[in-house]
């Protein structure tokens, strides 16, 4: 006698890839297991560069981790002095991006960029490890960056590092560009700081959060690497306000709220500040009916969005007129494009990439290589070489 066993229907075994980190983070937060940002950070913390893994001495550049006024920084020093009067060198203070909540000086893309700047420009590069949300909120990130900048600009520190005080830049990408612009503004008007930044180089910076309905937000609302909804979430994290305000931040009624003066709206009037080629067919989104005076949680949101330390685009002309000349890189496929294009009032060199997307600056090296990222870095380096 024979015995046969059949299973019907047949069992199919398949394994699906895990969901993206952002979705994993949302799930963990909904279940009360962890904050979603903590989960997203996981994959980024291991992205060290070969030089960093080798103990910080890879290549020609000397790397050291120190504190500037209790703020951790990573200092990159070129192999030799020279290139300036008296053998002094250029310097760049750099703030990494990541929505004020992600990123680190040790990430491969930032470490490689800083090494390249130091070696190619013969510059001392200081990359700042400012604290992140949700553990801290605005203005802590800004205050960390400002404290590190003031310490670095002290004549004694510059002298110790053989830096020419007339050739010091401040730079950053995305949220780091926001911090660089805000710090540059404050340093420029602070009479207690004798050495000022000579240039600012902003890479697709986020400069305001009051109007998330600009043409670039409308055009690129679902374009990677930075969705419009994600940008709103980063703003809420940075300001430390309740996530229930997410719809309000995306609403066109916010900019027309009665508590916002017309003088502030004039800084965001993209119908006059943007070239026609970037306005395209987009129209201003009208004020929604039923807008009420600020009450409750709305009052927690607007003060931060109106603070020039968080929104450098709102600075008055008297401040902008004292800030150093600027390099501003913008990308066509980026919700933040119009923030950079509207940053008027300073001597600006605007470099726009029609094929660029947010985050492309970090995709110029293997294994994540895009030609536009390589061209962006080349243009950025060339500008610093000529203007710093």
Question: Could you list the active site residues?
Answer: 174, 334, 358
CB 104 within 8 A of CB 41: no
Tokens 């310097």 label which residue? 91
C-beta of residue 196 within 8 angstroms of C-beta of residue 188: yes
Q: Measured between alpha carbons, how far is 362 from 209 in angstroms, rounded to an integer?
A: 23
């Amino acid at each position: 006698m024979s015995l046969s066993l059949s299973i019907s229907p047949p069992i199919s075994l398949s394994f699906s890839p895990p969901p993206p980190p952002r979705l994993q983070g949302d799930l963990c937060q909904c279940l009360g297991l962890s904050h979603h940002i903590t989960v997203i950070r996981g994959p980024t913390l291991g992205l060290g560069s070969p030089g960093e893994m080798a103990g910080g001495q890879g290549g020609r550049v000397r790397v050291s981790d120190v504190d500037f006024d209790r703020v951790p920084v990573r200092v990159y020093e070129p192999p030799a002095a020279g290139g300036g009067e008296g053998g002094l060198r250029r310097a760049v203070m750099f703030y990494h991006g990541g929505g004020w909540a992600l990123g680190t000086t040790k990430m491969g893309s930032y470490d490689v960029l800083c090494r390249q700047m130091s070696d190619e420009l013969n510059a001392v590069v200081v990359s700042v490890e400012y604290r992140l949300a949700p553990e801290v909120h605005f203005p802590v990130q800004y205050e960390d960056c400002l404290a590190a900048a003031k310490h670095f600009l002290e004549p004694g520190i510059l002298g110790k590092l053989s830096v020419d005080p007339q050739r010091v830049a401040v730079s950053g990408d995305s949220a780091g560009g926001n911090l660089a612009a805000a710090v540059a503004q404050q340093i420029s008007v602070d009479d207690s700081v004798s050495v000022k930044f000579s240039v600012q180089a902003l890479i697709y910076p986020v400069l305001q959060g009051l109007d998330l309905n600009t043409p670039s937000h409308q055009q690129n609302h679902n374009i990677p690497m930075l969705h419009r909804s994600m940008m709103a979430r980063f703003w809420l994290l940075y300001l430390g306000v309740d996530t229930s305000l997410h719809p309000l931040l995306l609403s066109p009624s916010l900019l027309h709220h009665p508590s916002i003066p017309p003088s502030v709206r004039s800084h965001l009037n993209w119908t006059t500040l943007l070239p026609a080629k970037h306005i395209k067919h987009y129209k201003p989104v009208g004020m929604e009916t039923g807008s009420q005076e600020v009450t409750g949680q709305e009052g927690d949101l607007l003060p931060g969005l109106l603070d020039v330390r968080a929104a450098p685009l709102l600075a008055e002309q008297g401040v902008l007129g004292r800030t150093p000349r600027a390099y501003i890189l913008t990308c066509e496929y980026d919700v933040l494009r119009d923030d950079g294009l509207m940053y008027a009032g300073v001597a600006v060199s605007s470099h726009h990439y029609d094929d660029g997307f947010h985050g492309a600056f970090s995709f110029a090296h293997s294994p994540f290589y895009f030609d536009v990222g390589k061209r962006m870095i080349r243009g950025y380096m060339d500008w610093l070489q000529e203007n710093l």
